[in-house]
Amino acid sequence: MKRLILATRNANKVTELRAILEAAGLDVELVGADAYPEIPDVKETGVTFAENALLKAHALARATGFPAVADDSGLCVDVLNGAPGIFSARWAGRHGNDKANLDLLLAQLSDIAEEHRGAHFACAAALALPDGTERVVEGRLEGTLRHEPAGGGGFGYDPVLQPLGESRTCAELTAEEKNAISHRGKAFRGLVPVVRELLG
């Protein structure tokens, strides 16, 4: 069985990708970055989701000698010309403060009419081999932004993004419903033929 490392310490992401690989019948041992605690996290200095995903995947592949997958994702708002984008997790200044990020975004969009509240979640998933081979797959979840958060599930901007064709926000969907349509789910599923090609 070939080992594949996912550049995350988030157990939910590992579980999600593992299920996708198993459903595709791929004989791959997927482990998270927790399996290599001595390897430091990579600074995301790229200016696109794809660049950041590749930085993380290459760093882990070089450090471990195993193929590595990494993803980078965020919210892109039409009227903000695609922002917060790669700055989604630190939009309000401090990395990972979901409530502050959400409050700031809603304040910035408070006067924006319904028809101009289009947005999408974007995800780039990269696979890198120790020899430098790389592939990137991208996924999107299109939707509109609510004026107020709704739902207790998910994280980040999930409580305000309502997927197209849905009456609920991402935070009101079950984990299974969200994974079936999510930007990350689409990108991870797009990696299946890449894993099959490069890892056999």
Q: Which residues are annotated as a binding site for Mg(2+)?
A: 72
Sort 98 into a burial class: Cβ within 10 Å, 0-12 / 13-18 / 19+: middle
Residue 125's closest CA among 170, 88, 73, 59?
73
Bridge-based pairing of strands 2-6 and 68-77 is: parallel
User: Binding site residues for substrate, as ranges?
Assistant: 8-13, 73, 155-158, 178, 183-184
Active site residue 78: no
How far CA 41 is from CA of 9, 12, 38, 63, 192, in Å, comes to: 10, 18, 10, 11, 25
Handedness of CA 175, 179, 180, 183 (dihedral sign): positive
Query: Token pair for residue 136?
Result: 């990137």
DSSP E strands, 17-171? 28-32, 68-77, 118-128, 134-145, 161-163
Annotated binding residues, written as ranges, equal 8-13, 72-73, 155-158, 178, 183-184
Give how far Cα 3 sits from Cα of 8, 9, 64, 71, 129, Å: 15, 17, 10, 18, 11
Strands 161-163 and 118-128: unpaired
Candidate list 27, 72, 78, 131, residue with the active-site label: 72
Q: Which residues pair with 157 in a beta bridge?
A: none
Catalytic residues: 72
